[in-house]
Structure 1
Amino acid sequence: MTAPADLLPPGLAADVERASGARIVAVRPRGGGGASREGAELSLAWPDGRACEAYMNYDVHRAGAGDDAAFLREAAVVRGLSQTGSASGLRLAPFIAAIPEQRALVAGRVEGEARFDHIKDADQKASVGADYMAQLARLHAADPALVPELGGPVPIRDQVERRLKSIRTASERGGTRDPLLRLAADWIADNIPREPDHQVIVHGDAGPGNFLYQGDRVTALLDWELVHIGDPMADMAMICLRTLFQPFIPLPAAFAAYEEAGGGKVDLDRVRFWRLLLQAGFARGGRYDDPSAPPPPNLGMNMIFSLIHRRVLAEALAEANGIALAPVVLPDVPPAPHDHSFTVALNDLRDVIVPRLSDQQADTKAKGLARLVKWWRALARYGPAVEAAERAELDAALGQIHATLAAAREAFADAVFAGAMPRVDAVRLAHARVARDAALMADAMGGLSGARFLPLT
């Protein structure tokens, strides 16, 4: 029989027991929180006879959002707001323990469903969505002094400049320049909004998938790894990003519910600014081919999330600059010589491997692997023709024939980073590349292939 500690990364079980004072009776590995963390359900028992069911998110490889300081802020918010939530009406899972060294946060298990798309009744969708927005309004009304670890307000311009610095750094990471991120950073720098009327506790990752519900009521707000003091419109913008991957109520209805609950007027211009800024932060791309980078929890899904963010960023950047985009489609080419072998592998994963997996975490990773196989199949079939089309497009725009696609991309980056190409042309070219990448991964994306921002009005 497998010991509970053996189902967790080395040393994590002992750290949880030391921090909580409880003994781990049972462990049930889960898929984790979001795209960046792994998770487990725990049965805990204390020496005085108390027992409870708990849930733990952990990121022992530090592959997720934020840094160690961000984890400490997250733990402080869960501890502080879960203890005062009953007075303010906020609903959080009760804090049990935090292990900063492994970025592990343990909280009491709260009953509820996280998948908003599981709601089929229209009235229930409307009620849950409105209740969530009311919870967000209560969060924004909470006194930041309840969580002193968050620090005091910082001017919004300074917050944006700090994020801009990170985006610009990412645009030149590892000696590889990213024209799309540079173009986004330039637009952001030119459009920083005025200071908001007041700053609040910003959840930082607000939206569907980051709360639990039961019936027509939200039971807990989840995933506080991006929490900070800032502009409340940043949470409205983050809802826009999260609806790329999960359904929610229409945004005009969500914003109206927020205002009716006392959250203040939703400023759509500020929402658009934060939406593009946050999108740029999530569109940096992963170091998936870098052997020195920590392995992502689910390579297939992480790559898909990253690519969707990049495509939507390119579309939002074009909209912000008033640029009309032409559709990008894959060329008509026959299947590659080894196409059938990909089909065999996919059938084995779908029909043999996944049905026999009782471990939910392994099941999640196997499905992620199937997405990778679909992508590899598309690369084998369409990759050469797609690369030829991109090279011809760059050659025409730059007025020079390049020996390789890598050389053409380098010349394009030179032009963007030097400000030597009109922004309209540069945005169109950056979009064309990411649109082709998305087309190659469309089969792997499945239903996510059509992810777009929902209308704000």
Structure 2
Amino acid sequence: MFEWIAQTGGGEITRLERHVARREAWVVDVTRPDGSVLEGFLRLDRHEVPANSSTSLVRETKVIQALADTDIPVPAVYGRNDELRCTLFERVRGRSDIDALDDPVQQRAVMEDFIRVIARMHTLDLDELGLADAMPYLPTTPAEAALNDVDLALEQWQGFLEHYTEPLITYGVSWLRRNAPTELHRLSLVQGDTGPVNFMFDGDRVSAIIDLEWAHYGDPLEDIGNICVREFWNPSGGLDGLFHLYEQESGIPYTRFAAQYYRVQQNVRGMIPIHAVTENAHPRESLAWYLCYRYLGDRATCQALAEAAGVAVEVPEMPAAEGAKDIVAAAAVYSIERDVAPKLTDAFAASRATDATRLIRLMDRRRRYGAIIDAVECDEMAPLLGARPATKAEGLQALDDLIRTGTFDDDAVITYLTRRALRDEWLHEPAVSLYPERTWSELDA
């Protein structure tokens, strides 16, 4: 791979650093004989990924190459190597952390420019994009457009789901099918995971749309829901008026329920692989981040469901009594934070050290509060199931079975799932604190 990077850049590698991100990436500089520097961003797949997968780098590369011929700003593709399963992209000027901007005027200007870019992307001619080989599936009904990516996730993670019980996934999929849109204004190329942090900006203008691995053909309003989700995780000044601007720029009608529906759709679709990763994480993965995504994401999903269904849920009380802290856990955290982390100069290594302290604190918190929370879950499942389950696992399995029968009270299920998610979020606070105090922004009427 080193040889290929140098050859692609036309020089010698002079910088190669692991980028701190959920998916593996590297910052690369290639210095040419004339002294010029190619500033690259290397993405790679460690293992073979199916071409139709939502995480396929091959498909993402093709989408970016197609968009490069339009007025949608995307990174240049310097090279692609299928044998090595890697792509060398341009390292785009600017920054992505719009949530960190101190100037609300600039923040708003960037968001409005981003909305205009997405509106233009949604009105591109699909035939002219030439992506038939990368995305051969074209939805033919509104329900297919809304559910195709959910069904794809269910198919891709079927092996995991066959041996995994999670009532929230089961209920979320059921709710999405029963409430699928009946109208589709047009079929568009949607980014599928769009919004704050998934685009670069320079000044008050978008310099590039990035992270297009979820791109597919679907309902353009799906991206409206995705923007809500990204803004939940990365608050960027709220959403007031942005979707009316989108409607004005694209000519595609916006509805509040579509935004509510696709907030749930995005979360349920993303929840499936996140649960799989947290249950089967390789030590190479940043498990603290994934646990944060899981438990904060579960709570966000439940609250989005409750709002869409018009269900008011009371926040439960959390355990007050604290068990004895583990001196071994405290010693491990102390040594990492005081003796190891301050000596680290590599950003990726420092990030991993922080992850380790969060995981140690989380294990100690589970030890102290896990049994208390489990008993509460059994108590609260009793009215739904008609009897108190002997264990939390048995109760969740029985609730999952009940949801699959289709004979349940939506309000009661949503209420229980939301209260459980709030307790889980509290229990996993050392990981969830990576994204503290996250709430849904108000939607345009």
TM range (shorter): 0.7 to 0.9
User: Aligned residue pairs: how many?
Assistant: 437
Conserved? CA contact 1:28–1:40, under 8 Å = yes
1:375 aligned residue (359, 362, 373): 362
Conserved? CA contact 1:330–1:382, under 8 Å = no
Q: Aligned equivalents of 2:154 and 2:214: distance in 1? A: 20
Amino acid in structure 2 at the alignment position of 1:279 = N
Q: Aligned equivalents of 2:129 and 2:35: distance in 1? A: 31
1:31 is aligned to 2:20: yes
TM-aligned CA deviation for residue 263 of structure 1: 5.5
Conserved? CA contact 1:157–1:192, under 8 Å = yes
Conserved? CA contact 1:26–1:42, under 8 Å = yes
Deviations 1:383-431 (A, max 9, x none): 1111111122223442324333322222222222223432222222222
Q: Structure 1 105/48 Cα, relative in aligned 2: closer, same or farther at 3 Å?
A: same
Conserved? CA contact 2:9–2:38, under 8 Å = no
Amino acid in structure 2 at the alignment position of 1:146 = L
| Residue equivalent to 1:138 | 120
| Residue equivalent to 1:56 | 42
Secondary structure of 1:56 counterpart? strand
1:154 aligned residue (122, 130, 139): 139
Deviates more, 1:429-438 or 1:340-349: 340-349
Q: Structure 1 436/357 Cα, relative in aligned 2: closer, same or farther at 3 Å?
A: same
Q: Which blocks of at least 5 consecutive residues in structure 2 are unaligned?
A: none
Deviates more, 1:277-286 or 1:66-75: 66-75
Deviates more, 1:384-393 or 1:147-156: 147-156
| Residue equivalent to 1:287 | 276
1:44 aligned residue (30, 42, 47): 30
Secondary structure of 1:350 counterpart? helix
Secondary structure of 1:129 counterpart? helix
The aligned runs of 1:436-451 (5 Å cut-off) are 436-446=423-433, 448-451=435-438
| Residue equivalent to 1:6 | none
Deviations 1:33-90 (A, max 9, x none): xx3x0211111256898641111223425799972884322101222222x24xx2x2
Deviates more, 1:59-68 or 1:380-389: 59-68
| Residue equivalent to 2:79 | 97
Q: Structure 1 385/456 Cα, relative in aligned 2: closer, same or farther at 3 Å?
A: same
The alignment yields a C-alpha RMSD, in angstroms, of 2.9
1:342 is aligned to 2:329: yes
TM-aligned CA deviation for residue 281 of structure 1: 0.7
Conserved? CA contact 1:211–1:218, under 8 Å = yes
Amino acid in structure 1 at the alignment position of 2:304 = A
2:350 aligned residue (360, 363, 382): 363
Q: Aligned equivalents of 2:129 and 2:50: distance in 1? A: 26
| Residue equivalent to 2:59 | 73
The aligned runs of 1:83-122 (5 Å cut-off) are 84-85=69-70, 88=71, 90-100=72-82, 103-122=85-104
Q: Aligned equivalents of 1:264 and 1:400: distance in 2? A: 49
Conserved? CA contact 2:64–2:74, under 8 Å = yes
Q: Structure 1 132/103 Cα, relative in aligned 2: closer, same or farther at 3 Å?
A: farther
| Residue equivalent to 1:198 | 186
Deviations 1:349-395 (A, max 9, x none): 33332222211111222222222222222212211111111122223
Conserved? CA contact 1:62–1:294, under 8 Å = no
| Residue equivalent to 1:5 | none
Secondary structure of 2:240 counterpart? helix
The aligned runs of 1:232-381 (5 Å cut-off) are 232-262=220-250, 264-284=252-272, 285-288=274-277, 294=282, 297-338=285-326, 340-381=327-368
Identity of aligned residues (%): 24
Q: Which blocks of at least 5 consecutive residues in structure 1 are unaligned?
A: 1-11
TM-aligned CA deviation for residue 233 of structure 1: 0.8
Q: Structure 1 154/226 Cα, relative in aligned 2: closer, same or farther at 3 Å?
A: same
Q: Aligned equivalents of 1:130 and 1:332: distance in 2? A: 45
Conserved? CA contact 1:128–1:218, under 8 Å = yes
| Residue equivalent to 2:400 | 413
Deviates more, 1:260-269 or 1:65-74: 65-74
Q: Aligned equivalents of 2:204 and 2:304: distance in 1? A: 33
Deviates more, 1:130-139 or 1:50-59: 50-59
How does the TM-score come out when normalised to structure 2?
Answer: 0.88
1:13 is aligned to 2:6: no
Q: Structure 1 435/400 Cα, relative in aligned 2: closer, same or farther at 3 Å?
A: same
Q: Aligned equivalents of 1:259 and 1:359: distance in 2? A: 45
Deviations 1:120-165 (A, max 9, x none): 1121111111111122122223333224244474224224343443
How does the TM-score come out when normalised to structure 1?
Answer: 0.86
